[in-house]
C-alpha cells in the first residue's frame, strides 16, 4: 500500500493558505482544510478552487449531529468533489455519512480518538475504556459500517490495521518529523514510524506550513516516509 502526505492548511486566511499551496507547487497534491480556515478564512471556497485546479481536498469537519443533518451535510460536501471528509466515529453518524456519500468519490473517515487525548482525557470524558480500547471499538464499527477509513494516532495504526484490513485508509495526525516538537499532540510519531506501523495517509501541518521553505520541508518528509517498510 502506497502512502500519501496530506498538508494541513492550518492558517487563518485564504491568502496565507494560497501562499503555502503556491510554495509547495507540484510537491503536494492533497490538502486538509479544518475549522480554522474553513470558518475563518473562506475555506470552503478555497477548497472548491483547489479542486478545480486539480488538487485533492480533505475537509476535516468532524461532523456529529442527528442522522438527517449528517447525511445532508455529507452529501453537500460530496457535491464539491472533495476527496475526504471526517465524521466522529459514532455508529449512527458513520451510517448516515455513508448514505450521504453514496455514489460519489468522497472517502468518509471516522475519527476514533483525537491525538491530543490520552487515557486520562478519555476517562474524564466518561468512557469506560482506555484510549486504545476506544480506538479498537470505533475501528471495528467503522469497518463493519463500511466507511472509507479511520483517523487514529500512529501509535494505534498497527492495531487498527489488524482490525480494518488493507482496504480502509488509516489517516494519522500528530506526525512530527524527526527532531521536531510535539506541540499540543500527546501521541505523536515520525513519518517513517507511522508508515511502518500501517498508516496510509500522514497529516502534517506546522512543520511544513511554518517552514521557511515549505517545499523543502515537504520533500524531506516524503523522503522520510519512503524509509517506512510499507514503501520499501
Give the chain's domains with CATH numbers.
4-231 (3.20.20.70)
Our answer to whether residue 62 is catalytic in this structure is: yes
* Residue 230: predicted pLDDT: 42
Least confident of 14-28, 70-84, 181-195: 181-195
The dihedral of CA 222, 227, 228, 230: what is its sign?
Answer: positive
Q: State the Rg of the chain over Cα.
A: 17
- Residue 132: pLDDT above 70? yes
- When mean pLDDT is compared across 14-18, 81-85, 155-159, the lowest value belongs to 155-159
Catalytic residue among 48, 55, 62, 72: 62
φ/ψ of residue 9, rounded to 5: -85, 70
The pLDDT of residue 193 is above 60: yes
Three-class secondary structure of residue 55 per DSSP: coil
Query: Quick check: 65 and 38 in contact, CB under 8 A?
Result: no
Q: Which residue has the higher pLDDT, 187 or 11?
A: 11
Averaged pLDDT, 16-26: 97
Better-predicted residue by pLDDT, 41 or 80: 80
185 is in an annotated binding site: yes
Burial of 107 (0-12, 13-18, 19+ CB in 10 A): buried
Question: Residue 142: what pLDDT?
Answer: 97
Chain position carrying cell 523522503: 223
Burial classification of residue 93, based on how many CB atoms lie within 10 Å of its CB (0-12 exposed, 13-18 middle, 19 or more buried): buried
Is 134 within any annotated ligand binding site? Answer: no
* Residue 61 is assigned to a ligand binding site: yes
Q: Could you count the other beta carbons within 10 Å of the beta carbon of residue 182?
A: 11
**What's the whole-number mean pLDDT along residues 87-92?**
97
Amino acid at each position: 500500500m502506497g502512502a500519501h502526505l496530506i498538508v494541513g492548511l492550518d492558517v487563518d486566511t485564504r491568502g496565507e493558505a494560497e501562499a503555502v499551496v503556491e510554495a509547495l507547487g507540484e510537491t503536494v497534491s492533497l490538502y486538509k482544510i479544518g475549522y480554522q480556515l474553513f470558518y475563518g478564512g473562506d475555506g470552503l471556497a478555497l477548497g472548491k478552487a483547489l479542486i478545480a485546479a486539480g488538487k485533492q481536498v480533505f475537509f476535516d469537519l468532524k461532523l456529529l449531529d442527528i442522522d438527517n443533518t449528517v447525511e445532508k451535510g455529507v452529501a453537500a460536501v460530496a457535491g464539491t468533489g472533495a476527496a475526504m471528509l471526517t465524521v466522529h466515529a459514532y455508529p449512527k453518524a458513520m451510517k448516515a455519512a455513508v448514505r450521504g456519500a453514496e455514489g460519489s468519490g468522497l472517502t468518509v473517515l471516522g475519527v476514533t480518538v483525537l491525538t491530543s487525548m490520552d487515557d486520562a482525557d478519555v476517562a474524564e470524558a466518561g468512557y469506560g475504556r482506555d484510549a486504545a480500547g476506544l480506538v479498537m471499538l470505533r475501528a471495528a464499527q467503522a469497518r463493519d459500517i463500511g466507511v472509507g477509513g479511520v483517523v487514529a494516532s500512529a501509535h494505534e495504526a498497527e492495531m487498527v490495521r489488524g482490525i480494518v484490513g488493507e482496504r480502509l485508509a488509516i489517516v494519522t495526525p500528530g506526525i512530527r518529523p524527526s527532531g521536531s516538537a510535539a506541540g499540543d499532540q500527546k501521541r505523536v510519531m515520525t513519518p517513517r514510524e507511522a508508515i511502518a506501523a500501517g498508516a496510509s495517509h500522514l497529516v502534517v501541518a506546522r512543520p511544513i506550513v511554518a517552514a521557511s521553505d515549505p517545499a523543502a520541508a515537504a520533500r524531506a518528509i516524503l523522503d522520510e516516509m519512503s524509509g517506512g517498510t510499507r514503501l520499501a
